Amino acid sequence: MYAYNLFRSTKPDGLVCAVPEERTVPPFVVEPHWQFGGRIEDREVPLGFDRRAAMEGVRFNGFYLFASFQKDRANRSA
């Protein structure tokens, strides 16, 4: 599995763009609509992240978009 950099949407949609470290960040991931959300490796994936879907997304697009199900999401949307 790749190590991914995560970019979180600043909108209340809960979208996260996971980009393998060795790949280029897609051009739509720009401030103020996206912010860096950390780095993940094999054993520490966020809720909503699907490893198989991520591999397919990266294969075809170079990145993987998924919906985040963070518990603190209600506090972030203010």
pLDDT of residue 52: 92
Residue with tokens 């209340």: 12
pLDDT of residue 64: 96
Mean pLDDT (the chain, rounded)? 86
- How many contiguous H segments (helices) and E segments (strands) does the chain have? 2, 4
Amino acid at 1: M
What is the pLDDT averaged over residues 49-66?
94
pLDDT of residue 71: 55
Q: Could you tell me the residue ranges of all domains in the chain?
A: 4-72
